[in-house]
């Protein structure tokens, strides 16, 4: 499903959160699609189930997935604009990052072409 960097200083469960979020955003994982079970994904990635659960819990708290005891974890349908807190956080992060990008020399045109590239979300890297 994806690869992890065990040498990275970034925590494994946060790498997982990031990767899964990307898959959801890019619509590789569809609305209400079932994610691998905690134990199954742990086995696939040869890491501990607790670590998977930690990532799933984080994704759930951010509104990207929902979990049902006994059934599994699923992609939360993206009724846009519903997750207001996340949106506020992302807007602040974006503001900072845009300022940094411009400081480092990116032009507004470059950034706008990045937006176009990303818009629609049908790019799978």
Partner DNA sequence: TATCTGTATTAACATGTGTAGTACAGTATT
Partner DNA sequence: AATACTGTACTACACATGTTAATACAGATA
Footprint of its own copies (CB under 8 A): 18, 21-22, 24-26, 78, 80-81, 83, 86-87, 90-91, 93-106, 108, 111-112, 114-119, 121
In whole angstroms, how close is the CB of 118 to its own copies at the nearest point? 5
C-beta separation of 13 from 55 below 8 A: yes
Burial of 60: CB neighbours in 10 Å, binned 0-12, 13-18, 19+ = middle
Q: Which does 37 bind (CB under 5 to 8 A by kind): DNA, its own copies, none?
A: DNA
Q: Which does 103 bind (CB under 5 to 8 A by kind): its own copies, DNA, none?
A: its own copies
Taking the C-alpha atoms of residue 113 and residue 17, their distance in angstroms, rounded to an integer, is: 27
Coil, strand or helix: which one is 11?
A: coil
Return the number of the residue (42 or 101) whose C-beta is nearest its own copies: 101
83 alpha-carbon distance from chain centroid:
14
Return the number of the residue (40 or 86) whose C-beta is nearest its own copies: 86
Q: Which does 76 bind (CB under 5 to 8 A by kind): its own copies, DNA, none?
A: none
What contacts 114, CB < 8 A, 6 or more positions away?
Answer: none
In whole angstroms, how close is the CB of 15 to DNA at the nearest point? 7
Contacts with DNA by CB under 7 A lie at 9, 11-14, 35, 37-40, 47-51, 53-54, 56-57, 60, 67-73
Instruction: Tell me the DSSP string of 87-121.
Output: HHHHHHHHHHHHHHHHHTT--HHHHHHHHHHHTT-
């Amino acid at each position: 499903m994806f690869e992890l960097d065990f040498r990275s200083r970034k925590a494994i469960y946060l790498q997982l959160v990031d990767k899964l979020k990307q898959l959801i955003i890019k619509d590789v994982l569809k609305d209400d699609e079932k994610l691998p079970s905690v134990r199954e994904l742990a086995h696939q990635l040869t890491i501990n189930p607790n670590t998977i659960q930690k990532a799933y819990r984080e994704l759930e708290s951010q509104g990207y997935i929902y979990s049902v005891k006994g059934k599994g974890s699923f992609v939360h349908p993206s009724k846009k604009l519903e997750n207001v807190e996340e949106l506020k956080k992302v807007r602040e992060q974006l503001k900072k990052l845009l300022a940094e990008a411009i400081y480092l020399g990116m032009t507004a045109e470059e950034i706008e072409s990045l937006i176009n590239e990303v818009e629609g979300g049908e790019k799978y890297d």
